[in-house]
């Protein structure tokens, strides 16, 4: 008698909504998609979307929360798996390169460009994402200075802000060219300048 294999479960509707909305934000921006775009792609009604996310502000907040959690998990993995601060910074820059390779932008980077038009809770969440990244980078810079794998002038906090700003900006400049090489060149120069 043959044993029936379990069917592969489809992601739950809220996850599918978030997946589509995340892609739309990363490609178009938050203000350039509607619930109708998501409903059409999913083949459901807009009312079904409102059941899961009553308004676009709630959807946006859920998107940032999920994106921040995944990014934080990636930073934790970098911490666990890589031996020195310089390797950690390379892996950090590669997180951005991977997003750009997929023809997308950092979601919080694109939301920062739309900052003034976002609902207040979303604005706070975008700042929280950047703050968490800067704190992580400052800690890695401090480690690298202590173990002599990194050198820099200024405080770790100021340099961390510069790294984050450079990578986000490099994504923006590379995007219209469709040229990952432009991003990699900027990231490479940045990392070379920090090498002890």
pLDDT in tens, 79-124: 999 989 999 999 999 999 999 999 999 999 999 999 999 999 999 9
d(CA 44, CA 22): 18
The top-level CATH class assigned to 65-192 is mainly alpha
How do the domains of the chain map onto residue ranges? 65-192
Share of the chain above pLDDT 70, in %: 94
> Angle CA(174)–CA(73)–CA(15) in degrees, nearest 5?
85
* pLDDT tens string 164-190: 999 999 999 999 999 999 999 999 999
How many residues are recorded in the chain?
196
pTM: 0.89
Provide the pLDDT for residue 196.
Answer: 81
* pLDDT tens string 118-135: 999 999 999 999 999 999
Q: Match 């939301």 to its residue by tokens.
A: 111
Identify the residue with better confidence: 48 or 160: 160
Provide the pLDDT for residue 185.
Answer: 97
Structure tokens at 24: 């739309």
d(CA 9, CA 28): 29
d(CA 84, CA 102): 28
């Amino acid at each position: 008698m043959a044993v029936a294999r379990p069917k592969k479960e489809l992601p739950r509707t809220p996850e599918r909504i978030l997946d589509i909305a995340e892609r739309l934000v990363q490609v178009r921006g938050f203000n350039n998609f509607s619930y109708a775009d998501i409903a059409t792609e999913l083949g459901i009604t807009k009312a079904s979307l409102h059941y899961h996310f009553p308004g676009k502000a709630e959807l946006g907040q859920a998107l940032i929360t999920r994106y921040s959690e995944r990014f934080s998990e990636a930073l934790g993995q970098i911490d666990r798996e890589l031996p020195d601060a310089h390797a950690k910074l390379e892996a950090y820059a590669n997180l951005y390169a991977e997003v750009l390779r997929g023809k997308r932008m950092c979601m919080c980077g694109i939301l920062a460009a739309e900052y003034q038009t976002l609902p207040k809770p979303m604005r706070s969440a975008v700042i929280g994402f950047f703050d968490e990244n800067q704190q992580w980078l400052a800690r890695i810079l401090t480690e690298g200075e202590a173990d002599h794998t990194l050198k820099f002038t200024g405080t770790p906090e100021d340099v961390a802000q510069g790294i984050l700003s450079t990578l986000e900006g490099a994504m923006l400049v590379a995007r219209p060219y469709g040229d990952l090489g432009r991003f990699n060149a900027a990231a490479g120069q940045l990392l070379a300048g920090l090498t002890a």
